[in-house]
Amino acid sequence: MARSALFAALFAALGWPSGVQASPMRRAQTNCRSGRTVFRQGGTRAFVVLRQFRPGSGEPSAPYKTFYVCRAGSRIPHAFRQGSPYVREAISGLRLFGDRLGFVVRAEGIQSGSETEVGWIDLRIDRVLTGLINASEGLANESEEQPGLPRVPDWDLKYAIANDGTVAVLGEGGDPREWEVCLLPVKPHSLGPPRPLFLAKAGQEALDPDSIAITETSVLWSTKNGQPESAPR
């Protein structure tokens, strides 16, 4: 389920219309010293600000997060990810690849549903692209979920970003354990759906998520025993 559809389903389950959104961001009250730091390298700082959605009518408020980044020399933060109320959302794996700051987002509905996305922000032009790599509607019977949901294992997930913005991902997880290498191409408004390059299942040689790398022509990784592997892009 796409991120917007997940949130719509959550609002419906809670009795709220799907158009409900958090209060608008007030940029004037946020500066490059605001919030809690989640990443800092050189002159680049990423941080999170926690705010409250107040629905009114005597209903309880709900927190939501907004993630910002300030690049070197900037005084005005750029919001690159805004969460939603009634959804637990966390960002991890922030890394610089040239002028791009990459990140992994995990979102989980209070009642059901979860998603994992990988993405980046181009610090030169504030362009943000993300791609969905794992999604579940939280149904007890997986066969009843929407067909075609990506299921790249994400218990241990690492990525690399090429100079053109293409993202290579190596994920480990599942029961029984499996490992998948995939590629997310750049599209006009998002990263494309994950294209599988290699899959290893329990009983086969395990892969090392930390070894993932990408060049102009290839995706590279290694097994946990140090054996190098690769696939053409």
Which tens digit of pLDDT belongs to each residue from 70-95? Answer: 998 888 999 999 998 989 999 999 99
Report residue 57's pLDDT band, with 50, 70 and 90 as the boundaries: confident
- 22 occurs within a structural domain: no
Helix (H) or strand (E) holding 18: none
- 125 occurs within a structural domain: yes
| pLDDT of amino acid 148 | 81
Same-domain check for residues 138 and 225 = no
Same-domain check for residues 182 and 139 = no
- 83 occurs within a structural domain: yes
- 5 occurs within a structural domain: yes
Same-domain check for residues 64 and 174 = no
- 24 occurs within a structural domain: no
Report residue 124's pLDDT band, with 50, 70 and 90 as the boundaries: very high
Residues 6 or more apart whose CB falls under 8 angstroms from that of 211 comprise 170, 220, 221, 222
Question: Which DSSP category does 6 fall into?
Answer: H
Q: Average the pLDDT over 185-208 and give the result.
A: 97
Same-domain check for residues 39 and 144 = yes
Same-domain check for residues 112 and 36 = yes
| pLDDT of amino acid 111 | 67
- 184 occurs within a structural domain: yes
Q: Domain range for residue 5?
A: 1-17+29-151
Same-domain check for residues 93 and 143 = yes
- Check whether 143 has a pLDDT greater than 80: no
Q: How many domains is the chain built from? A: 2
Same-domain check for residues 48 and 96 = yes
Same-domain check for residues 13 and 81 = yes
Same-domain check for residues 84 and 35 = yes
Helix and strand totals (H; E) in the chain: 1, 15
Average pLDDT along the chain: 87
- Check whether 140 has a pLDDT greater than 80: no
- Check whether 199 has a pLDDT greater than 90: yes
**From 36-40, 94-98, 111-115, 133-137, the region with the lowest mean pLDDT:** 111-115
- Decide which of 133, 151, 169 is a domain's last residue: 151
- Decide which of 129, 151, 173 is a domain's last residue: 151
Same-domain check for residues 146 and 195 = no
- Check whether 56 has a pLDDT greater than 80: no
- Check whether 10 has a pLDDT greater than 50: no
Same-domain check for residues 62 and 168 = no
| pLDDT of amino acid 220 | 98
- Decide which of 95, 117, 151 is a domain's last residue: 151
Report residue 147's pLDDT band, with 50, 70 and 90 as the boundaries: confident
Same-domain check for residues 159 and 173 = yes
Report residue 139's pLDDT band, with 50, 70 and 90 as the boundaries: low
- Check whether 222 has a pLDDT greater than 60: yes
| pLDDT of amino acid 29 | 82
- 225 occurs within a structural domain: yes
Q: What is the pLDDT of residues 18-35, one digit of tens each?
A: 333 434 444 448 999 999
- As a whole-number percent, the residues of the chain with pLDDT over 90 amount to 71
- 23 occurs within a structural domain: no
| pLDDT of amino acid 80 | 97
